Chains A and B, each alone.
Chain A
């Protein structure tokens, strides 16, 4: 199975900050990497697919990059509604797996 490791597991940031979250895969997954945002008590929301493609309706301050085994989710100018937990997930092969999550908290 392909394991995904996210770092950091949590971070504190202020409104307006630029935040980056890393996701590392235990083997190459090309660009088959998705990012989700989850707020407390809510279902996850797809932000980025294929490592860098923005899902419709997602603000352009979100961006994804990477290929192979290392991927990054960046949030430019963090907004109050961005405080949430973020998960990466690969779709390279079965079984599908999710990363352990990164909680973005208000400083």
Chain B
């Protein structure tokens, strides 16, 4: 059974750095094809993908936020950490981590986020 849980501060001040930890179980980040992504959602708004780290330590970022984001993994601890610098009130929202799965069908494959954490609400305010 795959589970993920986000942890970190609920309140950060503008210009501070946010550090969120995703602790997971039920899978290994050393298994080929596996990844963990971060997705956020401002209150009442749509989902926004932020970053993704793969089993082979390949890292991908949203181009819009790339300069502010760092994603790392500690496979031995079953954790993925996301850091976001220079936080602003517009960064307020719920931050989710999710398991990125590869789906094989017929002659093809696809990917999606099949398990999600419960989300961590982060408020940016002075």
In the assembled complex, A55 has its CB within 8 A of some CB on chain B: yes
- CB interface residues, A 19-54, toward B, < 8 Å: 31-32, 34, 36, 38, 43-46, 49-50, 53
Given A1-B63, A98-B48, A99-B46, is A46 in contact with B110 using a C-beta cutoff of 8 Å? no
Chain B residues 94-126 with CB under 8 Å of chain A are: 96, 98, 103, 105, 108, 110-114, 116-119
Task: Report the count of interface residues on A (CB-CB < 8 A).
Answer: 25
Given contacts A32-B110, A91-B111, A98-B48, A53 and B119 within 8 Å (CB-CB): no
**CB within 8 Å of B: which A30-85 residues:** 31-32, 34, 36, 38, 43-46, 49-50, 53, 55
Main secondary structure on A side of the interface with B: loop
Q: List 29 A-B contacts (CB under 8 A).
A: A31-B110, A32-B111, A36-B47, A43-B96, A43-B98, A43-B116, A43-B119, A44-B39, A44-B116, A45-B116, A46-B112, A46-B113, A49-B103, A49-B110, A49-B111, A50-B103, A50-B105, A55-B112, A55-B114, A89-B47, A89-B112, A91-B110, A95-B61, A97-B49, A98-B46, A98-B47, A100-B46, A101-B46, A101-B47
Which residues of B are in contact with A by a Cβ distance under 8 Å? 37, 39, 46-49, 52, 60-63, 96, 98, 103, 105, 108, 110-114, 116-119
